[in-house]
């Protein structure tokens, strides 16, 4: 397969970036998208050129590091997959593929296709945890009965890998889906009730401080999310926030 790649190259957050065209051939349909980029980088290195910088780690759809904007879509044209799980058979011989970093003020470019998503870490640190006594007076987690429906919904919310596709897909660059998933996974469980009031207020406050936009219920975030995180989590977080501010 022969392809025409238009890849965003940018030295750092302060440098001016541009799309650079790279023709490539010999790409197999069973290659992953990242394997295709590996082939390109090997060619660039052999020619003495600077390889394209892109983020990756597990290459198994777990870590969320491999986030790329491919032809205007976070993680590309497939659904419920991350970039590392996207196969080249989704493209045709002769296609032009535009590859860019996720675009958001809160995700500044580090180099080429790599963005800084530490804003997500700070939102998580603001309240995405529970307090557990580990000083010898611990309680077995299984000793607390949890409704099956609530447990399933909490697990669904906890599958969020923090890749940032929701932000990249949103016209407002909102992080509501990410934040609501992190709030919901605790709000649905009895273990999360102790910090519930502070959690939602602190995480929403940090989300706003990071410069993410507001949610206008477009729904693009859920469609592009590789884990299928539901918009219902945003509604739940709004209820949690309303309740918390009323109590406060």
CB atoms within 10 A of CB 25: 10
Contact at 8 Å (CB) between 177 and 222?
Answer: yes
Q: Per-residue b/e over 53-79, b at no fewer than 16 CB within 10 Å? A: bbbbeebebebbbbbbbbeebbbbebe
Report the pLDDT value the prediction gives residue 232, as an integer from 0 to 100.
Answer: 97
Alpha-carbon distances, residue 24 vs 4, 48, 70, 234 (angstroms): 6, 16, 16, 42
- Contact partners, residue 80, CB within 8 Å, separation at least 6: 226, 227, 228
Angle between helices 176-187 and 118-127 in degrees, nearest 10: 30
Model confidence, pTM: 0.94
Question: What's the DSSP call for residue 86?
Answer: -
| Tens digit of pLDDT at every position of the chain (248 positions) | 999 999 999 999 899 999 999 999 999 999 999 999 999 999 999 999 999 999 999 999 999 999 999 999 999 999 999 999 999 999 999 999 999 999 999 999 999 999 999 999 999 999 999 887 777 777 776 788 899 999 999 999 999 999 999 999 999 999 999 999 999 999 999 989 999 999 999 999 999 999 999 999 999 999 999 999 999 999 999 999 999 999 75
Provide the residue count of the chain: 248
Residue 185 CA to residue 177 CA, distance in Å, equals 12
CA-nearest of 194, 211, 244, 216 to 117 is 211
Answer whether 33's CB lies under 8 Å from 70's CB: yes
- Strands of the 18-24 sheet, one edge to the other: 18-24, 3-9, 96-100, 69-70, 73-74
């Amino acid at each position: 397969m022969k392809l025409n790649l238009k890849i965003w190259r940018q030295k750092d957050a302060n440098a001016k970036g541009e799309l650079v065209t790279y023709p490539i051939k010999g790409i197999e349909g069973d290659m992953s998208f990242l394997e295709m980029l590996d082939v390109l980088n090997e060619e660039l290195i052999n020619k003495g050129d600077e390889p394209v910088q892109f983020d990756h780690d597990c290459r198994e759809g777990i870590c969320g590091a491999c986030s790329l904007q491919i032809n205007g879509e976070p993680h590309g044209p497939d659904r419920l997959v991350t970039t590392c799980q996207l196969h080249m058979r989704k493209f045709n011989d002769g296609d032009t593929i535009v590859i860019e970093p996720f675009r958001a003020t809160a995700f500044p470019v580090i180099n080429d296709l790599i963005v800084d998503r530490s804003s997500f870490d700070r939102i998580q640190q603001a309240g995405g945890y529970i307090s557990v006594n580990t000083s010898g007076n611990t309680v077995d987690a299984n000793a607390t009965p949890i409704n099956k429906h609530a447990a399933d919904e909490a697990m669904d919310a906890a599958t969020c890998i923090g890749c940032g596709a929701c932000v990249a897909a949103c016209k407002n660059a909102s992080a509501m889906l990410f934040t609501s998933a992190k709030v919901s996974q605790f709000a649905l469980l009895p273990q999360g009730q102790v910090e519930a009031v502070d959690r939602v207020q602190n995480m929403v406050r940090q989300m706003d401080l990071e410069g993410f936009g507001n949610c206008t219920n477009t729904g693009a975030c859920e469609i592009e999310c590789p884990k299928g995180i539901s918009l219902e989590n945003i509604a739940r977080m709004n209820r949690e926030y309303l309740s918390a501010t009323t109590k406060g």
